[in-house]
Amino acid sequence: DQQVKQNSPSLSVQEGRISILNCDYTNSMFDYFLWYKKYPAEGPTFLISISSIKDKNEDGRFTVFLNKSAKHLSLHIVPSQPGDSAVYFCAASGETTDSWGKLQFGAGTQVVVTP
């Protein structure tokens, strides 16, 4: 039962343009949402997060938007750079005793930034 879904397995974008990655979730108990970036043969690295009490969080070129009523979040990368070519995972967790620490990951979106 996939609680976090990334329906686009891949995305190709031109350097300098905006990359938009989408993520949907089904569990209304999720309180926190995180994006991780992964290069080949490396572990995922944390990119940006957002709490369910916010609808936007920015960090440099990366902005995450949360639409809680639609159970949808998106990651915007502006402008896209060649070094952004990687797999991006959306993840979610809750603050309840049972769900804390148990990150639920989406399947990932492969981003390719072309010159």
Partner 1 sequence: NAGVTQTPKFRILKIGQSMTLQCAQDMNHNYMYWYRQDPGMGLKLIYYSVGAGITDKGEVPNGYNVSRSTTEDFPLRLELAAPSQTSVYFCASSPRRSSYNEQFFGPGTRLTVL
Angle at 86 between CA 80 and CA 87, to 5 degrees: 120
**Can you tell me which of 13, 34, 75, 111 binds partner 1, judged by CB under 8 A?**
34
Nearest distance in Å: CB 31, partner 1: 8
> How many other CB atoms sit within 10 Å of the CB of residue 80?
22
Pick the binder of partner 1 from 7, 9, 14, 67 (CB under 8 A): 9
H helix or E strand, kind and range, residue 76: strand 72-77
Choice from 44, 73, 86, 111 touching partner 1 (CB under 8 A): 44
Member of 24, 89, 111, 113 binding partner 1 (CB under 8 A): 89
Beta bridge partners of residue 59, listed in sequence order: 62
DSSP helix/strand/coil, 84: helix
Q: Which of 7, 26, 51, 96 binds partner 1 (CB under 8 A)?
A: 51
CB within 8 Å of 30: residues ≥ 6 apart: 3, 52, 92, 93, 94, 99, 104
108 belongs to the binding site for partner 1 (CB under 8 A): yes
Residues near partner 1, by CB under 8 A:
2, 4, 6, 9, 32, 34, 36, 41-46, 49, 51, 89, 91, 93, 95, 100-108
